[in-house]
Homo-oligomer: A and B are copies of this chain.
Amino acid sequence: MAGRPRDEGARQVILRRAADLASQDGLEGLSIGRLAAELGVSKSGLFGYFGSKEELQLATIRTAMSVYVAEVIEPALSVPPGLERVRRLCESWLSYSQRRVFPGGCFFFAVTAEFDARSGRVRDAVAAAGLDWIRFVTRTVEDARQLGELAGDTDADQLAFELISFMENANVVSLLHDDPGAYERARTAIRNHLSTYT
């Protein structure tokens, strides 16, 4: 539990910066020395907050999750369950990616691709976060179906997979090809796609 009684505000500033860096260079590319230098503190001082690089990585993921909840989940929950919440959830995600809340685009896209073929606690934490997200989208779709706002035979798992596909591809295309039109392509895909399920 190294560092837990320390200044919690400073800790969150460190972790928010770590998440920004990791969205661009990955959680392995995030080095304690570079992070310390950017924050103007000593390497061992920063190290003391976490105790190991792996703990820093895990704490960074938790901080990124709280940003994700505030930017993507909460805006969707401000709308009542149903098709409008599904639309709002997709739009919140695209806006979160497009506004570059993390400078490297979606934090979880970056670290998922980095750790999807590895093993260990960091990979497990990334996988758990990914599963939470899939389940939340699926539940949001299933609510809309049960309310009669999507066709009764809608396969919620299938539709959630398809919506997530469009969103993540917009993120990567916009980053790699510096093409903001990818977001409009995703919005068109989502709009047309939802209309085939109604």
Contact = CB atoms under 8 A, between A and B. Distances in A.
A13 interface: no
A163 to B, nearest CB: 10
A92 interface: no
A103 interface: yes
Contacts of A176: 112, 115-116, 126-127, 130
A165 interface: yes
A172 interface: yes
A185 interface: yes
Interface residues of A, number: 43
| Tally of this chain's copies | 2
A104 B115 CA distance: 10
B175 A161 contact: no
Contacts of A78: none
Interface stretch (A22-30, A69-77, A145-153): A22-30
B166 A185 contact: no
A29 to B, nearest CB: 7
A14 B134 CA distance: 38
Interface in A48-97: none
A6 interface: no
B118 A25 contact: yes
A22 to B, nearest CB: 10
23 contacts: A23-B117, A26-B28, A26-B114, A28-B28, A103-B117, A104-B116, A104-B117, A105-B116, A110-B113, A115-B176, A117-B175, A126-B176, A134-B173, A157-B185, A158-B189, A164-B169, A165-B165, A165-B168, A165-B169, A165-B186, A165-B189, A168-B169, A196-B196
